[in-house]
Every structure is written in C-alpha cells, then in structure tokens.
Amino acid sequence: MIEVTPLKAFTDNYIWALVSKESVYVVDPGDPNPVLDFLSENNFILEGILITHHHYDHTGGIKTLADRYDVPVYGPVNDSIEGITHELRENDCISIFNQDFKIFEVPGHTLDHIAYYSDADQKLLFCGDTLFSGGCGRLFEGTPAQMHDSLQKLKSLSPETLVYCTHEYTENNLNFAVVVNNENEYLKNYYSEVKIKRKNDEITLPSSIQKELKINPFLRLTDENIISNASDFSSIDINKEVDTLTAIREWKDNF
C-alpha cells in the first residue's frame, strides 16, 4: 500500500510524496525544500521524481533533488525540462513500489502534459494541472478540443480513483461552478463543506472521479443547466460538448 502525503509549496501547490516504508517518490517538486525537510524529518530515502509538465512551479526542484540523491526523473518528452532521465509517452508504464502506473498524454493546459494512473486495488491519479477538483487547468498552450479529449480520458477512469492534482484551487473553482451549474444541489452542499475546510486551512484533496462527476462543470458538459448558462454567457453557438467547454473555460478565465 502506497501512502500519499501532501507537501505544501509556494502559495497553493502540493508536492505529492508517495511513501512505502522508508522510500519516497515525489510528484512535481517545484520547490526542493519541502521535500528535503520531509525526507530529513522522517529519515526517508528519495527513490525517484515524477513530473507532469514543464511549468517551473512543478519542475524547479529537480536539479537540487537529483544532484543530491542521484535518482531517476520521469517526465514528458520536452527538451525544455532539464534533468528528465526517463521520457514517457502515452501508454507507457512504470512501476512504483511494485504498483504499475500507466501514462496518459493529456494536453490542454500545456502540450507536454502527462498524467500517472494506477488501476490496482489502490486506484490513484496524479494529474498535475489538467483536472482540478471542481475545474480544469487554463489553456496556456493547448486548444479546447485537446482539453476536452484529455478530460474525457480521465472522466472514464474508475469512479473510486483518487484524484491528486497539484493546486489547492477547490474553493475558487466551486465559487464558479455554483454559478454555471446553479441547479446542482449536491454541488452547493459540497461547496459549503469546502468553505469550512478552507477556513480551517484544511486540505480538500484528494478528490475522486466519482465526486468530480457530480461537481465539476468541465466533466458535466451535457448538463442542460450548464449548457443553458454557457449559452447565455457566450456568443458562440453551442452544438457539442467542446463548445460548452470553450464557453465555460472563457467564462472561468474572466470570472
């Protein structure tokens, strides 16, 4: 069994530490210091680094950690990321603590973005900035169609899959979601729970695919309430799911 521990970094980042006995892999260490502190305080050994995409708040700690521990660094095919030792593509598979993780290419937020998914008894998804709880990443490089395809891929995973994204954006995302999906009572109730958690500085992650299917407008693109509200906001004709995503992504960007 892999224990997953959040290490807070910067303002709202989480570096996920995958722990088994005294060994650790970390996901998206933008800052090496929380990782170094965690390893030192627990007498743990770093075994490897997993990277989802090239943004510096996800990669900034690679050199310090890799130089000190000489560990493999897994990540997407992107020459701009210094230190990657194992380039990963769609359907590649890596083993972490004897648990297989399949690689998905999930462009949208960036073109190089990948996610790590384990379909073992313990179902885990490390999805970087593609799928957030209650939202999705901004389209800095990709197109709405690419993000739609990526989210559909993640949406189809086992409902019990735990979703580990890398930012504490849940409250902000739900603040928008309750407007675009204002007839969703489950969403409203969950938003109230999240506001209490955040007031107490509690983490809202991991989420699950099951929960996201109930609360995340970017996974609910056929919902008539969302389509109606998106149509009222946007000047584009909404005839298919990607049109709805385009409209509500633009709406969220300016919300």
165, amino acid identity: C
Q: Retrieve residue 123's tokens.
A: 């179902």
Please, which residues bridge with residue 124 across strands?
118, 162
Give the per-residue pLDDT at 155.
Answer: 98
Q: Retrieve residue 137's tokens.
A: 């990443």
Burial 36-74 (b: 16+ CB within 10 A, else e): bebbeeeebebbbbbbbbbbebbbbbbebbbeebebebb
CA distance 131 to 16: 15
CATH of the domain at 193: 3.60.15.10
Give the per-residue pLDDT at 115.
Answer: 99
For the segment 87-107, the average pLDDT, to the nearest whole number, is 98
For the segment 140-144, the average pLDDT, to the nearest whole number, is 98
Q: Retrieve residue 191's tokens.
A: 């938003």
Give the per-residue pLDDT at 249.
Answer: 98
Res. 162 pLDDT band, cuts 50 70 90? very high
7-51 pLDDT, tens per residue? 999 999 999 999 999 999 999 999 999 999 999 999 999 999 999
CA contacts within 13 A on the Cβ side of 138: 9
Domain count, the chain: 1
Res. 212 pLDDT band, cuts 50 70 90? very high
The model carries a pTM of 0.97
Q: What is the mean pLDDT of the chain?
A: 98
Give the per-residue pLDDT at 174.
Answer: 99
The secondary structure of the chain in percent helix, strand, coil, rounded to multiples of 5, reads 35, 25, 35
Q: Which domain holds residue 126?
A: 3-253
CB neighbours (10 Å) of residue 225? 14
